[in-house]
Amino acid sequence: MRPERPLDPELHELSLSTGPLFHTDTGSGRPVIAAHGTPATSRDFRWLDSALEGRLRLIRLDLPGFGRTPERTSRDQTLPALGEVVVEAIEALGLEGAVVLGHSMGSVVALEAAAASERVAGLALVNGSGPMFHRGTFPRTYRVIERVVDLHPLARRATAGVLLPVARLAGYSKRLSEAEQVWALRLCARQDPARFERTMRALDKPVLVAWAEDDPSVEPKVSRALIACVNDPEVVRFAKGGHNLQASQAVELADALVRWSASL
């Protein structure tokens, strides 16, 4: 269930080598750095932030190309590059023993960061993408649309006009800008499930996997395939909750995250 109200703290600017990164920073204790899905922003974790009640230090990122963080803060248009940004943010903030939490396609970003940083003690994935394409991911189609978008500004505007209602129907934010939609399209066109599987199988850190049977975006077989790649994962399964467990099951997810992180 959800807490009484969400938490929407102010955004702070962190200067990285490639550009600014905007984030929130609340609570205390073990740091949890949260990577949202695509397309989304740090606001996706506002209910979870409230449910944690300060029991963990939650750092919610606006990943490059979303919210207030510009695209240029990422060295290229790939999810692994966003993972590098998370690693640099962890170092810039001086975090130790951190948990990296990824939601949906943010799980790819979180995994890349967890694999690359010795400062990360654990990885938490919520309705995560996995070692196979999930419902609604069509990289070849995305690449074709991407070429259309690059033809002319009018083509870009027309494409964004189609993508926005589709994104809304899928449950994504109504606040998405045209630039955020196109950036998300570019990232989705470059998904690499095989890389995800290799990286996950090689990871030697504790992993928590939370997922919902009724997720309309990431179907159960994808979550089960993800779990099969992990050595002795902590699994938190919900019969209901949809794609955004960090909102619909914020209290239960927060409690599970606190218990699990205390065991690291």
210 and 227 in contact (C-beta within 8 Å)? Answer: no
pLDDT given at position 184: 84
Provide mean pLDDT across the span 64-86.
Answer: 96
Single-letter code of the amino acid located at 59: I
129 and 219 in contact (C-beta within 8 Å)? Answer: no
Give the C-alpha separation, 122 to 235, whole Å.
14
**DSSP reduced 3-state for 108:** helix
Q: Checking DSSP bridges between strand 20-26 and strand 57-62, what pairing results, if any? A: antiparallel
pLDDT band at 139; cut points 50, 70, 90:
low
Which tokens is 155 given? 């083509």
Boundaries of CATH 3.40.50.1820 in the chain?
12-137+193-262
User: Can you give the C-alpha Rg of the chain in angstroms?
Assistant: 17
pLDDT in tens, 198-220: 999 999 999 999 999 999 889 99
Q: What's the CATH number for 12-137+193-262?
A: 3.40.50.1820
Q: Has residue 141 got a pLDDT over 80? A: no
pLDDT > 90: percent of the chain? 75
**DSSP reduced 3-state for 104:** coil
212 and 134 in contact (C-beta within 8 Å)? Answer: no
**DSSP reduced 3-state for 208:** strand
Angle at 104 between CA 197 and CA 86, to 5 degrees: 80
Give the C-alpha separation, 185 to 166, whole Å.
12
Which residue, among 104, 236, 227, 222, has the nearest Cα to 170 in the 3D structure? 104
Q: Has residue 34 got a pLDDT over 90? A: yes
pLDDT given at position 154: 64
Which helix (DSSP H) or strand (DSSP E) does residue 146 occupy? helix 139-149
Give the C-alpha separation, 95 to 27, whole Å.
14
Which helix (DSSP H) or strand (DSSP E) does residue 47 occupy? helix 46-52
